[in-house]
């Protein structure tokens, strides 16, 4: 049990800014194993964001409450995944060769493609979440589970790259190397349970099995991104995982909003 607690805390330390005990460190062995808890960190980030939003609705308008929840999400993760998305926008937007794309993504500076991409994806998250608040009304538990699901499912989908695609960075140029080969296909069950379990509550509370289709578009989005990354750089990088998390989170929210008209 202590071993699993340390692995979980390593995931919490690696994927968030939440303080962890001093005996939890950046051991490659434990970072390697911590990928199984990547979707579980989504429960924490999504839960904190959703509770902030629900509390904010008591005092502010929907847009302000949603913005506050987004601020909390960014603070907890340190914009870890948003940074990856911005780097991917810059790299694939400004690079035309594998070498150039990887060089741009490694650069800590953000360019026009990254800025534009971040503005658009944050606006999409804002307005889609507002739509969910309008549709769900006062069904706060349903809202909570939808937001948690968007975080856990998108993290699970992003993590599957480690099992299905080739990692393309050299060890000395990557901050995520310890997890780059850490997710054999046979180990997909645990992160899959953490990824999809909150969504079972969403389907139950909504009273419509049709909502299961909200999983289809994010999964197809991952397939497309995998094909796109393979075409240009021959695999994935840590930034690609962050970008996939952000994109599939948006695709999930958009799918829920789109399906809501028919349930």
CA-to-CA dists, residue 252 to 68, 78, 153, angstroms: 20, 22, 8
Q: At what angle do helices 80-94 and 62-77 cross, to 10 degrees?
A: 90
pTM for the model: 0.92
Give domain limits for the chain: 2-8+29-260
pLDDT given at position 31: 80
User: Tens digit of pLDDT for each residue in 226-246?
Assistant: 999 999 999 999 999 999 999
CA dihedral 90, 93, 97, 100 (to 10 degrees): -20
Contacts of 182 (CB under 8 A, 6+ apart): 31, 32, 33, 35, 162
Q: Provide the b/e sequence for 54-88 (b: ≥16 CB within 10 Å).
A: bebbeeeebeebbbbbbebbbebbebbbbbbbbbb
Rounded CA separation 61/218 (Å): 29
**pLDDT for position 172:** 43
Contact call for residues 256 and 131 (beta carbons, < 8 A): no
Maximum separation of any 2 CA atoms in the chain, in Å? 51
The whole-number average pLDDT for the span 56-68 is 96
Closest CA to 121 of 255, 260, 251: 251
Closest to 233 in 3D by CA, of 26, 94, 40, 91: 91
pLDDT tens across 117-148, in order?
A: 999 999 999 999 999 999 988 899 999 999 99
pLDDT above 90: percentage of residues in the chain = 73
Question: pLDDT for 64-92, tens place per residue?
Answer: 999 999 999 999 999 999 999 999 999 99
Nearest CA-CA partner of 41 in 17, 59, 25 = 17
Identify whether the C-beta of residue 42 lies closer than 8 Å to the C-beta of residue 148: yes
Confidence (pLDDT) at 51 = 97
CA distance linking residue 46 with residue 78, whole number of Å: 14
Give the pLDDT confidence of 170-211 residue by residue, as tens digits: 544 444 544 555 555 456 888 999 999 999 999 999 988 889
Closest CA to 150 of 198, 81, 182: 198
């Amino acid at each position: 049990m202590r071993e699993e607690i340390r692995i979980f805390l390593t995931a919490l330390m690696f994927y968030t800014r939440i303080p962890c005990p001093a005996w939890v460190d950046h051991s490659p062995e434990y970072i390697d194993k911590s990928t199984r808890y990547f979707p579980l960190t989504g429960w924490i980030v999504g839960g904190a964001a959703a509770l902030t939003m629900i509390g904010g609705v008591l005092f502010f308008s929907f847009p302000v409450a949603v913005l506050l929840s987004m601020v909390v999400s960014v603070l907890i993760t340190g914009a870890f995944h948003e940074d990856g998305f911005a780097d991917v926008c810059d790299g694939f937007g400004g690079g035309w060769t594998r070498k150039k794309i990887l060089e741009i993504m490694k650069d800590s500076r953000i360019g026009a493609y990254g800025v534009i991409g971040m503005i658009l994806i944050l606006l999409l998250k804002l307005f889609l979440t507002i739509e969910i608040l309008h549709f769900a009304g006062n069904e706060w538990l349903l809202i909570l589970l939808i937001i948690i699901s968007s975080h856990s499912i998108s993290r699970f989908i992003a993590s599957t790259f480690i099992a299905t695609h080739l990692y393309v960075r050299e060890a000395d140029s990557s901050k995520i190397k310890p997890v780059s080969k850490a997710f054999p296909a046979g180990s997909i069950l645990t992160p899959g349970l953490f990824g999809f379990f909150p969504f079972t509550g969403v389907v139950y509370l909504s009273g419509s099995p049709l909502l299961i289709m909200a999983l289809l578009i994010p999964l197809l989005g991952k397939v497309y991104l995998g094909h796109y990354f393979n075409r240009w750089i021959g695999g994935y990088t840590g930034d690609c995982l962050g970008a996939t998390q952000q994109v599939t989170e948006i695709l999930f929210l958009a799918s829920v909003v789109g399906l809501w008209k028919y349930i």
